[in-house]
Amino acid sequence: MKHTLSILVNNHAGVMSHVSGLFTRRGYNIDSIAVGVTENPEISSMTIVVRGDEEVVSQVKMQLLKLPDVIKITDLNKSESITRELVLLNVSSNDKVRSEIMTISDVFKASIIDVTESSLLIEYSGTSRQVDALITLIKKFGILEMARTGTIAIAVQEKND
């Protein structure tokens, strides 16, 4: 089972290395990792997607909390969080297929951010499943280059009644 861990850490050099090293030392594979500074420049948010049962994830969380720069860990599940990935696709294109690629992009609400005679550069943000679906449909035209981020996630705040 996939778990998305949101980890708040002190924003210092080497913290990401220490956190990812913990996974490596324990033999756990990281499916995705994304790190960025929060609204407080002294704190970074790490989003790590890892596979494992509840026992494995509980063990990982306990080990992470032993690291001095780890402030808080939240295991986000789909019902209480929003997740997104970003992908940039440089797609082979010519006059015959350009409109078809643009139509697919429109369906996904993806942006065409650069156009040349021989290619289109597409930017898209969505869930992992949505990004995978776009890539699957675009593959037939020829993906010249692709850059894809890891998953980022944020907890959904409950509404006050």
Q: What number of other Cβ atoms are within 10 A of residue 144's Cβ?
A: 14
Average pLDDT over residues 54-69: 91
Average pLDDT over residues 90-112: 97
pLDDT at position 161 is 47
Give 146-159 as a DSSP string.
Answer: EEE---EEEEPPPP
pLDDT at 158 exceeding the cut of 90: no
Nearest 5°: CA angle at 128, between 22 and 112? 125
* Model confidence, pTM: 0.83
CA 151 to chain centre: 2
- Which domains does the chain carry? 2-76 (3.30.70.260), 82-154 (3.30.70.1150)
Burial class (CB in 10 A: 0-12, 13-18, 19+), 62: exposed
